[in-house]
């Protein structure tokens, strides 16, 4: 097979799925009806696996902002900001994000993945060290690889293990970047951020927090875990995405370090990627305004998350963490999890099926992501489907 030899294990896994007639990774949504409903395989389906936390994908003001941008600026930039120049909206959004987080400046990337890839590969080079939580997203690991920094994992949410590894580094902590997430995407648990900041203060280094899943979800304004814990000033870099609570596509980093601007001239994922389309920027700016003003959306989101978590807990399912918009049901076996996912879909409930190595501890997860747009009736129907499929014990 030559260069394809490396895919033998993957091919075997695909054959196994084909034999089962279950493939959770190539589901096609035939039609989107609303932020929480769609047609899949000809069946009206509740969407409970989209990360559309505030339900803003159908917000009328966001859609109108996109239409105006299309009319006035066209469909795309057709190049990178370095080559084609920045549209005014790109810079406006960066400044609005910086103001939102009370930081000096911001930089916008074309996706959330590229935000981590671009920042980490540029900040941390071969002479630097990245200490990252073991459960960090793949984009964080990939950023470390691209930059050539030495990546050292510490045990998930374990400040004592982080401190032990920092202690071993001695003076090298000056060239160390600590990376954690505000809300972890697989199990929905929060970082022990205050304790991690205490370690940073004791040993030095820099701290980056990925707020991809906590932006719009946590904090009085929706800034994320850093705001909720009142530690914004203790964090050097905050990265995030537009593809969750903001209902679009793109990513960003904000910081008080004036050197952030130098990333524009050094980061390959920024320099060599086409910039976000005008419509994407316009919808994101409007969504950020809605997020800032819309405490009612966060209230409804947390009510929905608590209700679903309570319903599944009462059914004695093993859940990954305390209530959050990410609610993961833990299964021990792959076949059981696959069949459960497939049966949920047949009952009109779409959720995410998560496999190792993406999942912690080799677990298999049925992952629900809840939205402010879900109705109490939809939450009840999700619980009813889980109750119907409850394995006999």
Q: Answer whether residue 355 shows pLDDT above 90.
A: no
Query: Within 13 Å, how many C-alpha atoms sit on residue 60's CB side?
Result: 0
> What is the pTM for the complete model shown?
0.95
| Placement of tokens 């001239």 in the chain | 265
User: For the chain, what percent of residues have pLDDT higher than 70?
Assistant: 99
* Average pLDDT for 363-388: 97
177 beta partners: 130, 206
The C-alpha atoms of residue 379 and residue 54 are separated, in whole angstroms, by 15
Q: Range with the lowest mean pLDDT among 111-125, 182-196, 256-270, 350-364?
A: 350-364
Task: Return the pLDDT at 393.
Answer: 52
Q: Which fold has domain 60-293?
A: 3.40.640
Name the band, by pLDDT with cuts 50, 70 and 90, for residue 2.
confident
Which one from 90, 156, 213, 309 is the annotated catalytic residue? Answer: 213
DSSP labels, 343-385: HHHHTTEE-EEE-TTTSGGG-EEEEEE--TT--HHHHHHHHHH
Which tens digits make up the pLDDT trace of 24-43? Answer: 888 899 999 999 999 999 99
Contact partners, residue 81, CB within 8 Å, separation at least 6: 90, 264, 270, 275
| Placement of tokens 């899949």 in the chain | 40
Name the band, by pLDDT with cuts 50, 70 and 90, for residue 131.
very high
88-101 and 278-293 helices, crossing angle to 10°: 20
Per the annotation, the verdict on 244 as an active-site residue is yes
Which tens digits make up the pLDDT trace of 49-62? Answer: 999 999 999 999 99
Within the chain, residue ranges assigned H as helices are 8-20, 60-73, 81-84, 88-101, 112-123, 138-147, 159-169, 193-203, 225-228, 268-271, 278-293, 295-314, 334-346, 376-388
Closest CA to 93 of 277, 219, 297, 293: 277
Q: Range with the lowest mean pLDDT among 185-189, 194-198, 206-210?
A: 185-189
Which one from 103, 137, 200, 244 is the annotated catalytic residue? Answer: 244
| Placement of tokens 């809840």 in the chain | 370
* Burial zone of 302 (CB within 10 Å; 0-12 exposed, 13-18 middle, 19+ buried): middle
- How does DSSP classify residue 215? T
* Average pLDDT for 287-314: 94
Per the annotation, the verdict on 103 as an active-site residue is no
Task: Return the pLDDT at 317.
Answer: 96
Which tens digits make up the pLDDT trace of 221-239? Answer: 999 999 999 999 999 999 9
Distance, C-alpha 181 to centroid of its chain: 9
Per the annotation, the verdict on 34 as an active-site residue is no
Average pLDDT, the chain: 95
Contact partners, residue 315, CB within 8 Å, separation at least 6: 383, 386, 387, 390
Which one from 185, 277, 324, 369 is the annotated catalytic residue? Answer: 185
Listed by start position, the domains of the chain span: 16-47+295-388, 60-293
Q: Looking at domain 16-47+295-388, which CATH architecture does it have?
A: Alpha-Beta Complex (3.90)
Name the band, by pLDDT with cuts 50, 70 and 90, for residue 1.
low
* Average pLDDT for 365-371: 96
User: Is the peptide bond preceding residue 392 cis, with omega within 30 degrees of 0?
Assistant: no
The C-alpha atoms of residue 118 and residue 270 are separated, in whole angstroms, by 6
Q: Answer whether residue 168 shows pLDDT above 90.
A: yes
Q: Are 286 and 73 in contact (CB under 8 A)?
A: no
Which tens digits make up the pLDDT trace of 71-86? Answer: 999 999 999 998 987 8
Task: Return the pLDDT at 194.
Answer: 98
Q: Are 177 and 129 in contact (CB under 8 A)?
A: yes
């Amino acid at each position: 097979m030559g260069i394809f030899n490396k895919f033998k294990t993957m091919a075997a896994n695909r054959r196994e799925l084909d034999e089962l007639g279950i493939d959770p990774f190539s589901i096609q949504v035939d039609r989107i009806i609303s932020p929480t409903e769609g047609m899949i395989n000809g069946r009206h389906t509740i969407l409970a696996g989209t990360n559309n936390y505030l339900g803003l994908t159908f917000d009328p003001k966001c859609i109108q902002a996109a239409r105006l941008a299309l009319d006035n600026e066209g469909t795309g930039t057709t190049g990178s900001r370095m080559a084609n120049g920045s549209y005014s909206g790109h810079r406006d959004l960066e400044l609005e994000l910086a103001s939102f987080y009370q930081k000096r400046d911001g930089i916008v990337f074309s996706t959330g993945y590229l935000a981590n890839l671009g920042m980490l590969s540029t900040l941390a080079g071969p002479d630097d060290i990245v200490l990252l939580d073991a459960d960090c997203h793949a984009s964080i690991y990939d950023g470390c690889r691209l930059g050539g920094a030495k990546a050292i994992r510490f045990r998930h949410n374990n400040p004592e293990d982080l401190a032990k590894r920092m202690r071993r580094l001695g003076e090298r902590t000056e060239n160390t970047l600590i990376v954690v997430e505000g809300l972890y995407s697989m199990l929905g648990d929060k970082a022990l951020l205050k304790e991690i900041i205490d370690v940073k203060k004791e040993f030095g280094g820099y701290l980056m927090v990925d707020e991809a899943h906590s932006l719009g979800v946590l904090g009085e304004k929706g800034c994320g875990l850093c705001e909720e814990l009142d530690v914004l000033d203790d964090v050097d870099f905050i990265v995030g995405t537009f593809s969750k609570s903001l209902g679009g596509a793109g990513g960003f980093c904000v910081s008080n370090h004036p050197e952030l601007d130098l990333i524009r001239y050094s980061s390959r994922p920024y320099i060599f990627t086409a910039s976000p389309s005008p419509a994407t920027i316009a919808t994101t700016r409007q969504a950020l305004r809605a997020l800032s003003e819309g405490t009612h959306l966060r209230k409804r989101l947390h009510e929905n998350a608590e209700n679903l978590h309570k319903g599944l807990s009462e059914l004695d399912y093993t859940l990954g963490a305390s209530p959050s918009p990410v609610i993961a049901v833990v299964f021990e076996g792959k076949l059981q999890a696959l069949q459960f996912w497939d049966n949920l879909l047949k009952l009109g409930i779409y959720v995410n099926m998560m496999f190792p190595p993406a999942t912690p501890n080799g677990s298999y997860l049925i992952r629900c992501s809840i939205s402010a747009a879900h109705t109490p009736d939809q939450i009840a129907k999700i619980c009813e489907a889980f109750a119907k499929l409850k394995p006999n014990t």
